[in-house]
Amino acid sequence: MSNEQQSVKMWSGRFREPLDGEFERWQRSIVFDWRLLDCEVAASKAHASALCAAGILTEAETAELRAALDAIAAAHASEEGQARVRDHASAEDIHHFVELSLAERIGSLGLKLHTGRSRNEQIATDLRLYVRRQIGLTVDALGAWARALVEQAQAAGESVMPSYTHMQRAEPVLVAHWLLAYVEMILRDAARLLDCSARLNFCPLGSGAVAGATLALDRNLVARELGFTAPTGNSIDSTSDRDFVLEYLQALTFVGLHLSRFAEEITLFATAEFGFVALPEAFSTGSSAMPQKKNPDLTELIRAKVGRIHGAAEAVTLLLKGLPLAYNKDMQETQEPAFAVEFVPPMLKLVARFTAALQFNRERMNEAAQSGYLNAMAAATYLVHKGVPFRTAHEKIGHAVRFGLEKGVELGALSLDELRRFGAEFDEDFYAAVTLTATLDCHNVTGGTARERVREALAAATERIAALAALKPGEVVHAGA
Strands (DSSP E) found in 207-250: 230-231
Closest residue by Cα to residue 221 from 54, 40, 65? 54
Using CA atoms, how far apart are residues 57 and 76, in angstroms rounded to an integer? Answer: 26
Looking at 7, 12, 287, 371, which residue is catalytic? 287
Question: Do the Cβ atoms of 400 and 412 come closer than 8 Å?
Answer: no
Dihedral angle computed from the Cα positions of residues 253, 258, 263 and 264, in that order, rounded to the nearest 10 degrees: 100
CA–CA separation, 449 and 289 (whole Å): 43
Q: Which residues pair with 172 in a beta bridge?
A: 162
Q: Phi and psi at residue 242, in whole multiples of 5°?
A: -130, 20
Type of residue numbered 297: D
415 is catalytic: no
Q: Could you confirm whether 166 is annotated as catalytic? A: yes
HSE, CB side, 13 Å, CA atoms: give it for residue 224: 6
To the nearest 10°, the Cα dihedral for 313, 316, 318, 319? 170
Handedness of CA 419, 425, 427, 430 (dihedral sign): negative
Residue 323 per-residue DSSP state: P
| Beta strand pairing call for 160-165 and 202-203 | unpaired
- Contact (Cβ atoms closer than 8 angstroms) between residue 65 and residue 109: yes
- Cross-strand bridge partners of residue 160: 174
Q: What's the length of the chain?
A: 481
Q: Which amino acid is at 194?
A: L
- Residues 2, 108, 166, 415: which is the catalytic one? 166
Distance CA 180, CA 159 (A): 14
Catalytic amino acids? 166, 287
